[in-house]
Structure 1
Amino acid sequence: MKLSFLMAFLPRSVFVLFLMAPTCSNAQLDEIPKLYAGLGYYRHTSFDDDSYYHVRVGAQILSYKFVSPEIDFTYYFGGNERVVRSDLETGFPTSVVFRVFRGLIWGAALKLFYGDEDLRLVVIPKYHFGKVTSEGLLSTSANNRIPKKNAMAILNYWSFSIGMEGVLNAERFKIGAYLVYTGFDAGRAMNQIEFPSEGFTGSSIETSTLGLNVRVLYSLWKVEK
């Protein structure tokens, strides 16, 4: 990742950590710190398979009463879009545009929970920042050579999750499942991809949507019985 990209988000990172500071400074280690990995599925009908996905890794740093700060890194993918242009008289396809995106996103949250380690309700308002890139390719019936196009956009947005977490293995593992609304918008990059010489002036995709997330949490040391 380029240094300029990291520097662009440094002020935001400091701001998020500043918000967490009062909780962290007074916190006691009520729970063991955890690492986690997860998968996400998001429904969106603009794409060929009506969906896009993410993989995520992160850390739940500590816990105090009903609050657990967490940070993570997410890779978004999928979202393949195909747009077909046809001849108005014959109806035969004359060109096809393919667009796809990839997202590299950081997140910081104060997870709220109700219940104990065995089974609990969780609510996660999370702030995200990062970048999304898009790639576009045009294929024509005349086999014209048209260069591939790329675009990039910086994203800042929120997501909100509600779900349940429970024990998967009494010593180290927990599992969670969540309903999520995400403000992740790959359209900020995808909508920049245009081929005006072939009559394709882009479209208006906006990918904020509902999704389902699952994660497995791993305690850094065994829980004492």
Structure 2
Amino acid sequence: MNKLILLTITLITSTLYSQKLKGFGGGGVYLNPAFEKSLFVNLNTGLEYKVNNLIKPEIEFNYYFGSLPDASIFNEANIQTSLLVRTTSAMGINFCPKINLGDYEDKVIFQIFTQFNIYNVTAKGSLFTLNSNQTNLIKTDSDEYKEIRYSFGIGIGMLFELNGNNSQSIALNLVYSNIEIGNAINKLKFNGVIETRQSLGISLKYYFSFKKNKNNIIN
């Protein structure tokens, strides 16, 4: 995993000042049934490479994090005895073939893309037990599990070009992903079965050019 990241950074650095490259940063929120009322959050940064006005693939570095709802544990008398707290995070690389469709003179572009992800998932769980007076929770056990996972995603969105000396734009995307963080959570020693393979999210990205556009023409 570390060698793959290093190789990717080396390739990016070798062409960093090319006018065909744009940097970007952004984030998104994902809905998943396992998280109930909670959201699964994504932060990202990366580079877009312009093959032509139609094809603009991306490489993206991602960080995901979220918390499952706390699970209360009761005894036979229906009295709460403990509380289970679980969190999960993932860090990885996303290769994203992307097609842009539209009139650049109008500065609004429709885009379609796919995502191929490799990421390292970390799941953590802590068990808190109520004291004899039922007033304080005391941490009595904890566990952690890590694994490498792969996933695929697909999305559509709108790209809005902005004015300025540099070529800048903002993209609003709707993304479907089968990123799997539930398997790591299931490996925790005091957890049940969680299924998190189906996620729907909204993401926002800001793109910027590394070089000034002297003619103020959209790249």
Give the alignment's TM-score, normalised by structure 2: 0.81
Structure 1 residue 112 corresponds to structure 2 residue 99: yes
Matched AA of 2:126: L
Query: Is the Cα contact below 8 Å between 2:32 and 2:196 reproduced in 1?
Result: no
Matches within 5 A, 1:11-160: 32-47=20-35, 49-89=37-77, 91-117=78-104, 118-142=107-131, 146-160=140-154
1:222 aligns with 2:215: no
Aligned to 1:190: 185
- Any unmatched runs of 5+ in structure 2? 12-17, 132-136
Given the superposition, is the C-alpha separation of residues 38 and 133 from structure 1 closer, same or farther in structure 2, using an over 3 Å criterion? same
Equivalent residue, structure 2, for 1:180: 175
Task: Give the paired residue count.
Answer: 197
CA distance in 2, matches of 1:155, 1:133: 11
Where 2:86 maps in the other structure, the secondary structure is strand
> For residue 25 of structure 1, what is the aligned residue in structure 2?
none
Q: Which residue of structure 2 aligns with residue 203 of structure 1?
A: 193
Q: Give the C-alpha shift of residue 92 in structure 1.
A: 1.7
**How many Å separate the matches in 2 of 1:160 and 1:154?**
21
Render the CA deviation track for 1:121-173: whole Å, top value 9, x for unaligned.
10110100011101100011246763320001211111111000011234332
Which 4+ residue blocks in structure 1 deviate beyond 6 angstroms? none
Q: Identity over the aligned pairs, expressed in percent?
A: 23
Give the Å deviation of 1:176.
0.4
User: How does the TM-score come out when normalised to structure 1?
Assistant: 0.79
Shift of 1:52: 0.9
Structure 1 residue ranges without an equivalent (≥5) = 18-28, 196-200
RMSD of aligned Cα (Å):
2.3
